[in-house]
Amino acid sequence: MTMKTIHMAAALLLGAMAAGCANVERSRDLGNPNVAPEVTAVQVCSACHGVTGISVSPNFPRLAGQQADYIEQQLKNFRSHQRSDPEGFEYMWGISRKLTDEQIKGLAGYFAKQTSTPNTYLHVVANAEQLSEGKKIFETGVAAKETPPCQACHGPKGEGMAAFPRLADQHQDYMAKQLLVFRDTNGRPGTPMEQISHSLTPEQIYSVTAYLQSLPR
Amino acid sequence: MDKDNHCVVGARKGSWLRLMAGWLSLLALLAVLLPIEAQAIPIYARQTGQNCLACHAGGQFPELTPYGRIFKLTGYTMGNRVEVPLAMMAVVSATSVASKTPGTGDTNADFPQNGLMHFTTASLFAGGKITDNIGMFGQWTYNAYAQQDADGHWAGHSGSDQFDLRYADRFIDDQRDLIVGASLNNNPGVTDVWNTFDSAFASTPSYVPVSNPGGNGGPFAGVPAAPIMLQLGPVAAGVSAYAFWNQTVYAELGFYQTANRALSFLSQGVPDSDMPKLKGNASPYWRLALNHDWGPHSAMVGLFGFDTEIYANSPATSGPTTHYRDVGVDAQYQYILDPHVFSAQFSYIRENQSYSEELWNPTNPNYTGNYVNGSNTLAFLRMKGTYVYRAKYGVSLAYAAVNGSADALAYNNSPDGSGNPVPFGNANSTPNTRLWIPEVFWNPIQNVRVGLQYYKFTQYNGSSGNYDGNGRNASDNNTAFLYVWGAY
C-alpha cells in the first residue's frame, strides 16, 4: 500500500462523511423514523436478543414468539421510564427513547412472529425435585400463600396471551430477576405480578423459573 | 493511555500524611456526590442512552462486553447522533516506590512525584456516530507532568492518543451475519475488541508515567522492554480492513506508516524529532480470531502479527534499520451475568529483531556499536484475571514476564549525564523481568473509579537481587499506585 492509497482511503472516508450518506436499509440509527423496524431488529436489537429473538446470554430475555402486545407495552414503558428495573434502565431506556409508536409496533410484530426453540442452557442446573416443585406452582399455584397458578394467565403451555408474556423457553435467570423486581421493588408498577410474587420464597422462584425455562411442549 | 514519558528530574517532596489527607478529602467529596446518579456520561453512553456497563464489562474501562464488541465493530454507529460529540476524562494519582536508593543520589530525579498526590492526565474525546456507516473514536491526552523546562519546573504536554475512524456495514439476516469495515487509526491494536492489547492489561488508568520504573511509560507499565507493536503509540498511521463472520471468525489486515506529513494529525503533539520512522508505507499488521459466545460466557483465541523496519537514526529516514517481526497468540474468557463479571485475558508476543550490519558488526566501516548480536529475540507474556461485583467492587491480578536474548550493548548499565549509576541499570545484559500486579477498585458511580494497584517485581533486568551491580534489588522497584479516575 502506498502513501497515495492511504490518502485515497482517507479521502473516501471523508467524502462519505461529507455526503452524510444515510443507509436506511442497514441503519443502526435509533433516532430516524424512516428506519424500518425489521432493520432495527436485526441491526440493533439482535446484538443482545439475537436476530430471531433467541438471545444467547441469559442477561437478555428471549423475544422469539413473545406476545406482540406485551413487547409493545414494555417498549413504551421503557420509553416513558415507567419500567425502571436495572436491566430496563441500563439498556432499554436509551434504545427506546426515540422510537416512534409505529416502529415499536413493528418491532413487537417482528419478534412475535419468530419461532421459539427449547432453551437448553440452564445457568444452574435444577434437580428433579425442584422441577417438580416448579411444575406444581405453575399448574396449581401456592395455595397457602394465595398465589394463583402461572398458567391461569400465561397459558397452559406458558405461551402467554396479549399483555401476559410468554414464559416458555425464557431464560431462568432473567425470569428470576424479574420476579425479584416485582416482589421487592416498584420497578415494574401496574401489574398483578407485584401482588402475586410478594410471598414467593427464593427457592420457589428458582423452582418455577427453572421449570418454565424447560417447560415441556 | 498516554505514551509520553519525558521524566527527567523531580522537584517536590511530600509526605504520606499529606497525601492521605488529600485522598480522604476526595473520598468525602465522592461520598457527598454518591446519592446523585450521574446524568451526563461520555459520548457513546449519550449516543445510545445506555449505561456504561452495557459495553464495558462490569463497568470497567476499556474492557468490552460482547455487545460492546458489536458496537465498536459496527463503527460506533448504533444509537442517535449526539449534538456535542465530546467527553472528558481525568486522573488524579500517587505512587510510592519501595526504595529510592541506590540510585543517582538524587531521589527526586530518579522517582519524580513519588508520594505526591497529583493531577496526572486528562483526555478529551471526540467521536461517535457520524453517518449510518461511519463513526469515530478520537482521544487527545494532556499529561500534566510530561516534561521539565530548563528551570526544573514541570510542564504539561498534550497530544494525540488513540484514534479510530471507521467505516462499517453489517449484512445480517437469520442465515448469516457479516460485519465488514475499514479503520483509519494510529497504531496496531487500536482496533482491538477483545481487550488483549495494551490498555486492558494496564487497567484504567495505566500506571503513572512519571514514577515509572524503567522509564517506559507504556505499554505495560513497569517492564523495561516490550515488543514494537505495543510501543508505537500515536506515531503510526494505518488503514486496516476487517470482517467478522457469524460472530465466530474475525480477520483483519492493516498497513502502517509513520504518521507524518498529511497524516500528522494522527500524531499531533509528538515532535518529528521524537518520532521513530517506519521504513516504507506498508508495515503489515494482521489478526485472526475465533470467538464463541454461549450462555453468559464468551471466549476468544487468536493469532496476530506485525512486521516493520524502523530507521535506527530516526528521525532520519536513511541509514541502518532494525527489522521487527512480531507474532502473538492471545485469548480471552468472559463471564457476564449480573451481578457478577469475571474475565481473563492472555497474550504472548514473540519478537525477532534483526539489525543492519553497521549496528552490530565491528568489522563494518560504519559500525555504530548498538548491539552485540546481529539479531535478538524478545518475548512478552501477559495474563490478567478480574472479578467485579455489581459493577462497583472489583479485584484483579495481572502478571507480566519479559524474556529477551542477552546483549550487552542493547541492555547495559549506562550512567546518567554526571556519571552516576541510574536506578534502573542493567548488569545482566538481559531485559528479563517478572511482575505481579494485584489491584482493588471501587466505582462509587459509573463514571468514577478509585483504585489501588501494587506492582510487585520478582525479577528485574535479569535478576531478583543486585540487578544493576550497585546493590539495587528487583523488589526495590515495588510500587503502590493509588488513583481516582473520572469521566464526564
Tens digit of pLDDT for each residue in B223-254?
Answer: 788 899 988 878 899 999 999 999 999 999 99
Report the C-alpha gap between A134 and A140 in whole angstroms.
10
Q: Cβ–Cβ of A95/B257 closer than 8 Å? A: no
Q: Which residue of B has its CA nearest to A20?
A: B131
Percent share of chain B, pLDDT over 90: 52
Residue B23 has pLDDT above 50, yes or no: no
Under 8 Å between Cβ of B194 and B289: yes
- Calpha distance B228→B234 (Å, rounded): 13
One DSSP character per residue, B245-308 reads: ETTTEEEEEEEEEE--GGGGGGGTTS-GGGPPPBSSS-EEEEEEEEEEEETTEEEEEEEEEEEE
> Mean pLDDT throughout B71-85?
92
Chain A contact set for B51 (CB, 8 A): 89-91
Residue in the block written with cell 468490552:
B64
Average pLDDT of every residue of chain A: 91
When pLDDT is averaged across residues B113-119 and rounded to a whole number, the result is: 82
- Averaged pLDDT for residues A25-30: 96
B158-184 mean pLDDT: 94
Q: Tell me what pLDDT residue A15 has.
A: 60
Distance CA B64, CA A26 (A): 23
Could A22 and B131 be called an inter-chain contact, meaning their C-beta atoms sit closer than 8 Å? yes
Q: Return the higher-pLDDT residue of B72 and B215.
A: B72
Quote the minimal CA–CA distance from B167 to chain A in Å.
Answer: 7
Q: Is the pLDDT of residue B18 over 50?
A: no
**CA angle centred on B419, ends B414 and B422, rounded to 5°:** 50
Position with higher pLDDT, B60 vs B257: B257
Q: What is the mean pLDDT of residues B145-174?
A: 83
Residues A52-68 have a mean pLDDT of 97
* DSSP of A146-180: TBPPTHHHH-TTS--BTTBPP-TT--HHHHHHHHH
Q: In chain A, which residues fall in CATH 1.10.760.10?
A: 24-112, 128-213
Residue B4 placed within a domain: no
Could you check whether the bond before residue B284 is cis, i.e. omega within 30 degrees of 0? no
In chain A, the percentage of residues whose pLDDT exceeds 70 is 89
The answer to whether the Cβ–Cβ distance between B66 and A57 falls below 8 Å is yes
Residue B194 near residue B394 (C-beta atoms within 8 A): no
When pLDDT is averaged across residues A78-104 and rounded to a whole number, the result is 95
Q: Is B419 exposed, middle or buried (0-12, 13-18, 19+ CB in 10 A)?
A: exposed
Chain B residues lying within 8 Å of A173, measured CB to CB: 296, 337
Q: Is B263 within 8 Å of A43 when comparing Cβ atoms? A: no
Is B426 within 8 Å of B468 (Cβ atoms)? yes
In this prediction, residue B361 carries a pLDDT of 98
Q: Do A13 and B134 touch (CB under 8 A)?
A: yes
B94 Cβ contact partners less than 8 Å away, ≥ 6 residues apart: B19, B23, B113, B115, B116, B117, B118, B208, B481, B482, B483
Please answer yes or no on whether B294 and A97 come within 8 Å at the CB atom.
no
Determine, for residues A6 and B77 on separate chains, whether the beta-carbon distance falls below 8 Å. no
The predicted pLDDT at position A121 comes to 79
Domain A24-112 class in CATH: mainly alpha
Whether residue B449 contacts residue B484, with contact meaning beta carbons closer than 8 Å, is answered with yes
Omega before B205 within 30 of 0, i.e. cis: yes
**B199 vs B371, more confident:** B371
Residue B132's CB is within 10 A of a number of other CB atoms, namely: 25
Q: Which residues does B32 contact at the CB level (< 8 Å), separation at least 6? A: none
Tell me the pLDDT tens digit for each residue of B281-316: 999 999 999 999 999 999 999 999 999 999 999 889
pLDDT value for B151: 66
Share of chain B above pLDDT 70, in %: 84
Nearest CA in chain B to A27: B132
A4 or B271: which leads in pLDDT: B271
**Spatial separation of the C-alpha atoms in residues A76 and A93, rounded to whole Å:** 10
CA distance B28 to chain A (A): 27
The H-assigned helical ranges of B96-234 are 107-110, 198-202
Q: Which of B79, B167, B337 has its CB closest to that of A30?
A: B79
pLDDT class for B140, splitting at 50, 70, 90? confident
Contact B94, B219 (CB under 8 A): no
**B144 CB contacts (<8 Å, ≥6 apart)?**
B118, B119, B120, B121, B122, B154, B156
CA dist B114 and A38 (Å) reads 57
Alpha-carbon distance values, B428 to A71, B353, B375, B407, B421 (Å): 67, 19, 18, 9, 15
β-pairing verdict for B283-294 and B134-148: unpaired
- Total of domains in chain B: 1
Q: In chain B, what residues touch A98 (CB-CB under 8 Å)? A: 80
Which of B51, B172, B255 lies nearest to residue A1, judging by beta carbons?
B255
On average, the pLDDT of chain B sits at: 84
Confidence category of residue B148, pLDDT binned at 50, 70, 90? low
Is pLDDT above 80 for B392? yes
Residue of chain A nearest B129, judged by CA positions? A29
For residue B227, being part of any structural domain is answered with yes
**Domain that includes residue B349, residue range:** 16-487
Which of B50, B170, B294 shows the shortest C-beta gap to A94? B50
pLDDT at position A98 over 60: yes
Q: Tell me if B7 is assigned to some domain.
A: no
Mean pLDDT of B440-458: 91
Residue-level pLDDT at B76: 95
Is B176 part of a structural domain of the chain? Answer: yes
Structure-block grid coordinates of residue B193: 475488541
Say what angle helices A202-213 and A128-140 make with each other, to 10 degrees.
90
Residues from chain B contacting residue A115 (CB–CB below 8 Å): none
Q: According to CATH, what is the number of the domain A128-213?
A: 1.10.760.10
In this structure, is residue B449 part of a structural domain?
A: yes
Question: What is the reported pLDDT for B61?
Answer: 80
What are the angstrom distances between the C-alpha of A21 and each of A27, A30, A44, B134? 11, 16, 19, 9
| Overall pTM > 0.95 | no
- Contact: B281, A6; criterion CB under 8 Å: yes
CA B334 – CA B420 distance, rounded (Å): 48
Closest residue to B184, CB basis, from A10, A22, A43: A10
- pLDDT (0 to 100) of residue B220: 53
Distance CA A97, CA B82 (A): 13
Domain CATH code at residue B66: 2.40.160.10
Q: Which of B49-58, B139-148, B292-301 has the lowest mean pLDDT?
A: B139-148
Q: How far A24 CA sits from the closest chain B CA (Å)?
A: 8
DSSP letter string, B388-457: EETTTEEEEEEEEEEEE---TTTS-----TTSPPPTT--SSS---EEEEEEEEEE-SSTTEEEEEEEEEE
How distant is the Cα of B345 from the closest Cα of chain A, in angstroms?
20
Decide if B184 is inside a domain.
Answer: yes
As given in the structure block, the three cell numbers for residue A99 are: 422510537
Span B477-485, mean pLDDT? 89
- Exposed (0-12), middle (13-18) or buried (19+): which is B103, by Cβ within 10 Å? buried
Measure the CA–CA gap between A196 and A193, rounded to whole angstroms.
5
Contact between B422 and B472 under an 8 Å Cβ cutoff? The reply is: no
Asked whether residue B7 carries a pLDDT value surpassing 50, the answer given is no
User: In the structure, what pLDDT confidence band is assigned to residue B212 with cuts at 50, 70 and 90?
Assistant: very low
